Amino acid sequence: MTCSRAPVARGASAGEAGAGAEPVVEAASAPRPDPGAGGVQSLLGVEFTDRGFDALTDEILANDGADAACRLVVTANVDHIVKLQHNRDLRQAYDFAWRATVDGAPLQWVAFLAGSTVPHRITGADLFVAVVDRLDPARHRPAFVASDEALAQTVREWLESRAFPADSVSVCVPPFGFESDDAASEELLQAVARCRPTHVFFGVGAPKSEIFAFRHRERFRGAIVMCIGAAIGFRFGTLRRAPSLARRFGFEWLWRLLSEPKRLFRRYLIESVPFCRVAAAEITRGWQARLAAFVGSMRTRG
């Protein structure tokens, strides 16, 4: 694994490391951190925050590491919803999450068709950019878990240009399968811990990021952990994001499929088929609830 603190103008040396594996526990014994003020909107078995984009960004940036809890941020898309139907570990991570947002446009479409309140759409890519571009070297200590060394080096150079102290940042590239390797997990966790992070950005894919963060939540105490997939690559230019028009109309998934057909064909066109069943059930429940409410109101009037 490649891990380092970014070399910066202040001249401290690079650091490395990681941390041990904990058994997954039942969600009931791992209560969600206090969500504070605000509410949630239930959709497709997930409780989504009702905060708007700016409010959530400000809330994340307000963290200075003083809070003792690990606060996990997840951004749900179609793939996540499908995996939540059978992946117990991912379900526990979602149940524990401090904030969940709607990333995929199809989730909003389901809410609309079900006649329920349509939650804000806050993609991981947009949220990451808004947060990372406002990180303050005087207050924040970010750790990045990147998917490859080229991306990691770009992040290091950016941190250097922003004059982050070398001992307040960490940039790591864990090996493939690190989440199932105790030694690699330990190395990664120690590397992240050495900068005492206020924010940890996981860009190594789902559901491994969410599950890893949940399993090792005690090692991320004081940090907001954001699982944001390809967002690091989008922000730092190693991956090309869909044009704004495609994003606006909810077709970013199609752009990504055409850009990476070998990697995404199975996920988007085969593994996501069960989403249709889950969505249909949600829409049916929504209309049944509306019909029951209508009948009840008519009886009251009668």
Distance CA 8, CA 162 (A): 9
Q: What is the pLDDT at residue 32?
A: 64
Look at the block and give the residue holding tokens 């003083």.
66
Give the pLDDT band (50/70/90) at residue 148.
Answer: very high
DSSP code string of 235-291:
HTTSSPPPPHHHHHTT-HHHHHHHHSHHHHHHIIIIITTHHHHHHHHHHHHHHHHHH
Q: What is the pLDDT at residue 13?
A: 33
Amino acid, single-letter form, for residue 293: A
| Full-model pTM | 0.86
Mean of pLDDT values over 159-165? 97
% of the chain beyond a pLDDT of 70: 87
* Residue 194: pLDDT over 90: yes
Give the pLDDT band (50/70/90) at residue 65.
Answer: confident
Q: How far is CA 63 from CA 168, 213, 223, 260, 274, in A?
A: 15, 18, 8, 35, 38
Mean of pLDDT values over 5-20? 40
Q: What is the number of H-type helices and E-type strands within the chain?
A: 13, 9
User: Is-contact 143 114, C-beta < 8 A?
Assistant: no
What are 218-241's pLDDT values in tens digits? Answer: 999 999 999 999 999 999 988 889
CA dihedral in degrees (88, 78, 231, 39; nearest 10)? -80
Q: What is the pLDDT at residue 20?
A: 39
| Mean residue pLDDT across the chain | 88
Q: What is the pLDDT at residue 9?
A: 39
What are 237-273's pLDDT values in tens digits? Answer: 888 898 988 888 888 888 888 988 998 899 888 999 9
Q: Which residue has the higher pLDDT, 265 or 8?
A: 265
Q: Where are the domains of the chain?
A: 21-236
What are 22-40's pLDDT values in tens digits? Answer: 333 344 446 666 555 468 8
% of the chain beyond a pLDDT of 90: 68
* Residue 6: pLDDT over 60: no
Q: What is the pLDDT at residue 18?
A: 39
What are 87-146's pLDDT values in tens digits? Answer: 999 999 999 999 999 999 999 999 999 998 888 999 999 999 999 999 999 999 999 999
Q: What is the pLDDT at residue 23?
A: 39
Q: What is the pLDDT at residue 17?
A: 37
